[in-house]
Amino acid sequence: MTNNGIQEKAYAALKKTKGLGIAISIIIAILGILLFVKPIATTSVFIWIMVIGLLIMGIQKIVDYCRMPKGARDGFLLAGGILLVIITLILIGRGLNYEYAVTAGIEVCIAFMIAFTCIFTGIGRICGSGMVKASGGSQGLSIFSGILDIICGIIILGAPLLGLLTITVIFGIYLLITGIALLIRFISL
């Protein structure tokens, strides 16, 4: 199978998830706006919003990977999806065992989870920018978004203990950027 044939199959597979992708991207962007605009008010529910949002993102990444033809599958997409699902399920279980889910250990875990999610997503976006271009999307936007993801991940890795408020604001920005990038990607299908 030629590279062009694989790209056409990948495009067709993504097109099948267009409606779901648009809905998820809008939800992610709205969560990002809420976390950015009202960080203090949302800090008490931040962990649950974030965990649910990351669980949805992880499931979407796994579904996207499974729908791709074998020659077009991106290992970073699957790795990021599996990592998100496993860690969010652990956090849900741990959070349900505490009266207050906001503890220093969970905060650090969330910071690292966000950082590695940003980095994996950024690498995947940069590596997949050619496929975005082949499907009629903006390769430049895909690369730019990937670079922003990686930078955001590195910043969070560098300062995981600055506090939940800082992580909330950074994650709000990240979700807003991710939601807009996904919305543009799925609308252009």
Q: Check the CA dihedral 39-44-47-52 and report its sign.
A: negative
What's the token pair of residue 175? 């979700």
In angstroms, the CA 30 to CA 74 distance is 27
| Predicted pLDDT of residue 147 | 93
pLDDT band at 101 (very low <50, low <70, confident <90, very high): very low
Give the mean model confidence (pLDDT) for residues 94-101. 57
Single-letter amino acid, residue 98: Y
pLDDT (tens digit per residue) in 119-168: 988 998 898 888 777 777 778 888 998 998 899 888 888 877 665 667 77
Give the start-to-end residue ranges of the domains of the chain.
Answer: 3-187
pLDDT (tens digit per residue) in 164-185: 667 777 778 888 888 888 888 7
Model confidence, pTM: 0.53
Give the mean model confidence (pLDDT) for residues 9-16. 77
In angstroms, the CA 174 to CA 156 distance is 11
Per residue, the 3-state secondary structure of 137-165, as one string, reads CCHHHHHHHHHHHHHHHHHHHHCCCCCHH
Q: At what angle do helices 18-37 and 164-187 cross, to 10 degrees?
A: 150
Better pLDDT: 94 or 119: 119
Q: Which of 83, 84, 105 is nearest to 94 (CA)?
A: 105
Question: Has residue 77 got a pLDDT over 90?
Answer: no
What rounded mean pLDDT belongs to the chain? Answer: 79
